[in-house]
Structure 1
Amino acid sequence: MKAKAVRLYGKDDLRLEEFELPEIREDEILVKVMSDSICMSTYKLVDQGKAHKRCPQNVDTNPVIIGHEFAGVIVEVGEKWKDQFKPGQKFAQQPALNYKGRLDSPGYSYEWCGGATTYCIMPHEVMELGCLMPYEGKSFYKASLGEPMSCIIGGYHSNYHTNKRDHSHAMGTKAGGNILIMGGCGPMGLGAVEYGLNFENKPKRIVVTDIDDARIERARTVISPESAAQKGIELVYVNTTALEDAYDGLMTISEGHGYDDVFVYAPIRQVAELGDQLLAFDGCMNFFAGPTNKDFMADINLYNVHYTSSHIMGTTGGDNNDLIEANALAARGVIDPSVMVTHIGGIDSIAEATLGLPKIPGGKKLTYTQFNMPLTAIEDFAKLGETDPLFKKLADCCDAHNGLWNDDAEAILFRHFGICAEA
């Protein structure tokens, strides 16, 4: 069957093109992709091409479909999986495969499997690892955002604290503690705030830093300190450039205690070093931001590692349980990953948006692959709506949801473009 996809041929070489998908094998599944959000990790893939650890060396002759934050509907099921999956089922997927020690992953490594496409083929290892999951949510985009949320959730679960009496480790952020999210007003940081306010290890306070007043103001709007206070948690947003001394200012907010859990969401040496300095006794710093420079380094205080039990670690990606948790919480309305999204587009916008991702302001760029639509900021809907009825509907719908993308807005788009959300 025909598919249209954005495919990578090498460094900075993305092409939107139509091609013929092969017939599926007995151990494969054909899916219709409905939504795919664009990840900075995909930009890194495109920026590095063959030098990327997940990119095949024959990508110039066997291009790969990009995009790994995707969801959709199952169309055809190979004989091997017919007892487990059925055509018409909605799906979410976990792209962080670890199959026989290989780093292959949907959106990075496969000729026929990725998210920036109308249809793709799930290879057998996706199902064998339990990484294709039935999804019961109302909208597709929340399942797309389940993948980045699973990475965030994995970070919260992976942080740990120690017990000096018996050397046991308590997994997860410290209950009743101070959490510091550095560089936290971008899409992933806001996802971390949203989850932190609902994590079972309820913190005393969450402090979020950034250096951009506009990003901080949007963060305050979509996740307000008042809403956090209703959950019994103090939420503080701080522009560190406005502090006379960043260390003293942040330490004062913690009442001199320091931070039990620090998440570094910006791959900047000075940010990581400040996070290390702010750790409380037995504090854990998670270097979450993924640098592109393989020689990226920062100084850490090894005296504190020895005498005050500070821990330095990093996480990348989430596991199957993290994705299941992300989708379940979003489906029940416990967390709203919509706080991450600032732009909406169609399949024709993906290549340009991916190539220019670091230069496009705002948060997540969410795309729908079954139709064409320019990448458009949600904040621009109202202006465009003065002359375009579609954007008027979208603007009114988002305004009714605190300026956020939502289930009803997705349904408006599908109706406008005549898209059937079925196989």
Structure 2
Amino acid sequence: MKTRAVRLYGVDDIRLDTFELPEIKDDEILVKVVSDSICMSTWKTVKQGEKHKRVPNDVKEHPIIIGHEFAGDIVKVGKKWQDTFKPGQKFAQQPAIPGQMESPGYSYEWCGGDTEYCIFPNDILEAGCVWTFDGDSYFASSVAEPVSCCIGGYHTNYHTKPGGYQHIMGTKKDGNLIILGGCGPMGLGAISYGLTYENKPKRIVVTEINDERIERAREVISEEEAKEHGVELIYVNTSKMDDQVKGLMELSEGKGYDDVFVYIPNQGVCEIGNQIMAYDGCMNLFAGPTDPKFSANVNLYDCHYSRSKIIGSTGGTIDDMKEAIDKNNAGLINSAVMITHVGGLDSVVETTKDLPNVPGGKKLVYTHINMPMTAIEDFGKLGESDPFFKELDAVCKANKGLWSSEAEKMLLEHFS
């Protein structure tokens, strides 16, 4: 079978190729990829090439398919897996394979997300990292991977009780929670999840230094919506505060924050987060720094006497991904808050290489179409000369300017 795919050959060398996939083995499955969302981790991989820990040394001779946030349909099943999978089923996958560095989108010649078709090898299937789902969209399963990272952060935090040694996992129920730098796509995912989490806080404070980003966040997740779920949601531009620590403490009624999520790898932000923790507070460095010597000043007196904790979390588990998909299908979270752009497979090379400079949130790719990477907010302008985009814009505007299963179906039908 021939397929088109974006493949990595080395540092800053990714290409849209057409090539022949081999016949699947008895312990493999062939899938049709429908959607993939582009991750900043892929950009970092492209910048490192074979120096990346997950990328094979011989990638120049055996290029790998990039992209790891993907979903689609099962096409053909090897004999070993015919009791587990059937052609026509929708699949989702977890790219972080337990016990190994190899991962889809980083390590495999025939398995990745920015392709029309790919082959899942036995090691991924044996690890239980591919499963089927019943849903009305593909995109929600594509962005389930980044949503699972947010979920993993909530589950990773922990608290304690005086007089015992038990770690009580999860953010504190009915507590104060703050997301520093939280109006980006990952922050919006964290807010959406926090509103219906079983340990949901009584208050979520979200900081940002850009009014436009705050307004966009408020449009897709409003204070009124949060109130309906019994959560007080506060957006605040900290650049307008004379004293950020004092101002943020006042928003917590002087109690401090039980759970602090740092969504930007900035020393000053980390130090502010450390200073606003409540007794038994837990600060989670969620944002991944690129500097291996990244550090900040922390209060070890509070660590000793106030039981404050500093941890980090990255990625999510298979269960976190399944929770993301199930809760999105049940309407308990809205994965679409992360997505701001949509494009085709032909847009992947340029978008990936320039990803840090492309504004907005997640960039969603539909791998069987050709379409420039386009901001959802620009559909209206395109609709002035193209009736399809006029109709697509109306569908998105009726959904708070967000992508949806209805919009996805329209796009796929139009380009088919």
**Which residue identity is paired with 1:394?**
L
Q: Distance in 2 between matches of 1:174 and 1:153?
A: 14
- For residues 317-336 of structure 1, give each alpha carbon's deviation from its aligned partner in whole angstroms, at most 9, with x where no partner exists: 11111111111001111111
> 1:286-336 CA distances to partner (integer Å, 9 max, x unpaired)?
111112222212222111111111111111111111111111001111111
Whole-Å Cα distance in 1 between the matches of residues 81 and 236 of structure 2? 50
- Once residues 217 and 308 of structure 1 are traced to their aligned partners in structure 2, the CA distance between those partners, rounded to angstroms, is 36
Q: CA deviation at 1:98?
A: 2.0
CA distance in 2, matches of 1:413, 1:392: 12
Structural mapping, 1:246-265, within 5 Å: 246-265=244-263
Q: Cα deviations across residues 145-166 of structure 1 (Å, max 9, x unaligned)?
A: 1111111111101100011122
1:95 paired to 2:95 = yes
Matched, 1:37 2:45: no
Partner secondary structure for residue 394 of structure 1: helix
Distance 1:260 1:56 in 2: 42
What is residue 144 of structure 2 aligned with on the other side? 146
**Aligned partner of 1:74: which letter?**
I
**2: CA distance between counterparts of 1:15 and 1:239?**
41
User: Equivalents in 1 of 2:301, 2:30: separation in Å?
Assistant: 55
For residues 233 and 17 of structure 2, the distance between their equivalents in structure 1, rounded to whole angstroms, comes to: 46
Structure 2 counterpart SS, 1:380: helix
- TM superposition shift of 1:44: 1.0
2:125 and 2:350 map into 1 onto residues whose CA distance is 32
> Given the alignment, which residue of 375, 392, 408 partners 2:406?
408
Question: What SS does the aligned partner of 1:179 have?
Answer: strand
* 1:177 and 2:162 correspond: no
Structure 1 contact 175–201 (Cα < 8 Å) conserved: yes
Cα distance 1:298–1:51, how it changes in 2: closer, same or farther (>3 A)? farther
**Cα distance in 1, alignment partners of residues 86 and 133 from structure 2:** 12
**1:19-34 maps to which residues of 2 (within 5 A)?**
19-34=19-34
Question: Counterparts in 2 of 1:1-400, with a 5 A limit?
Answer: 1-99=1-99, 102-400=100-398
Count of matched residue positions in the alignment of Structure 1 and Structure 2: 416
Deviation per CA, 1:239-269: give whole Å up to 9, x if none: 1111111111111101111110011111111
Report the aligned-residue RMSD.
0.8
Distance 2:330 2:31 in 1: 25
Gaps of 5+ in 2: none
Ranges in structure 1 where 5+ consecutive residues have no aligned partner: 419-423
With the length of structure 1 as denominator, give the TM-score of the two structures. Answer: 0.97
The one-character-per-residue Cα deviations of 1:360-386 (angstroms, maximum 9, x if unpaired) are 111111110011100000111001100
SS in 1 for 2:58: coil
On the 8 A contact 1:259/1:278 being kept in 2, the answer is yes
Report Cα offsets for 1:323-360 as digits up to 9, x if no partner: 11111001111111000110000001111111111111
SS at match of 2:282: strand
SS in 1 for 2:200: coil
Distance 1:399 1:254 in 2: 34
Percentage identity across aligned positions? 61
- The 3-state SS of whatever aligns with 2:70 is strand
Moved beyond 6 Å, runs of 4+ = none
Q: Deviations over 1:132-191 (max 9, x none)?
A: 011111000001011111111111011000111221111100001011101100000000
Give the conservation status (yes or no) of the 8 Å contact 1:44–1:292.
Answer: no
Q: Is the 8 A contact 1:73 1:90 kept in 2?
A: yes
Q: CA offsets, 1:41-60, max 9 Å, x none?
A: 11111112122221111111
Q: Offset at 1:36?
A: 0.2
The alpha-carbon deviation at position 12 of structure 1 amounts to: 1.1
Amino acid at match of 1:54: R
Give the residue type in structure 2 aligned to 1:62.
H
What SS is found at the alignment partner of 2:333? coil
Q: Look up the equivalent residue of 2:374 and give its one-letter code.
A: T
1:421 corresponds to:
none
Provide the C-alpha distance between the structure 1 equivalents of 2:93 and 2:286, rounded to a whole number of angstroms.
21
| 1:207 counterpart SS class | strand
- 2:214, 2:12 → 1: CA distance? 32
